[in-house]
Amino acid sequence: QQPVQSPQAVILREGEDAVINCSSSKALYSVHWYRQKHGEAPVFLMILLKGGEQKGHDKISASFNEKKQQSSLYLTASQLSYSGTYFCGTSPNTGNQFYFGTGTSLTVIP
């Protein structure tokens, strides 16, 4: 039930945009996005609960396509602080057993 993330890794220059995708073979109730710096705890970015829902925070936004069982995370005008590994977490129902993807390593260089 582990969702699949793509790409596995991406390198950007400051100011460039990136898209990270998360897809599941199962129907989804919710999608979570987290960012983790090396050796640290993952930090919550956002939750999407409804199909078609889109959310944004500063220059980071996400969408949730319930029919396609996938979500995408959009990072625009990337900053050095965006570097880290991004994980999507999915829940197939209202229960709280989350499944996390394998992560996308994002590196922003000057």
Partner 1 sequence: DGGITQSPKYLFRKEGQNVTLSCEQNLNHDAMYWYRQDPGQGLRLIYYSQIVNDFQKGDIAEGYSVSREKKESFPLTVTSAQKNPTAFYLCASSNSDSGGEKLFFGSGTQLSVL
Question: To the nearest whole angstrom, how small is the minimum distance from the Cβ of residue 58 to partner 1?
Answer: 17
Sites for partner 1 among residues 33-92 (CB under 8 A): 34, 39-44, 47, 49, 87, 89, 91-92
Separation between Cα atoms, residue 43 and residue 36, nearest integer Å? 6
Interface with partner 1 by CB under 8 A: which range of 10-18, 29-37, 53-61, 70-78?
29-37
CA atoms within 13 A on the CB side of 66: 12
Question: To the nearest whole angstrom, how small is the minimum distance from the Cβ of residue 77 to partner 1?
Answer: 25
Q: Which two tokens stand for residue 87?
A: 């994980």
Beta bridge partners of 55: 62
Decide if 31 contacts 63 (C-beta within 8 A): no
| Contact residue for partner 1 among 75, 101, 106, 108 (CB under 8 A) | 101
Beta bridge partners of 28: none
Interface with partner 1 by CB under 8 A: which range of 10-18, 52-60, 72-80, 93-101?
93-101
The backbone torsions φ and ψ at residue 81, rounded to the nearest 5 degrees and listed phi first, read: -70, -10
Interface with partner 1 (CB under 8 A) = 2, 5, 29-30, 32, 34, 39-44, 47, 49, 87, 89, 91-103
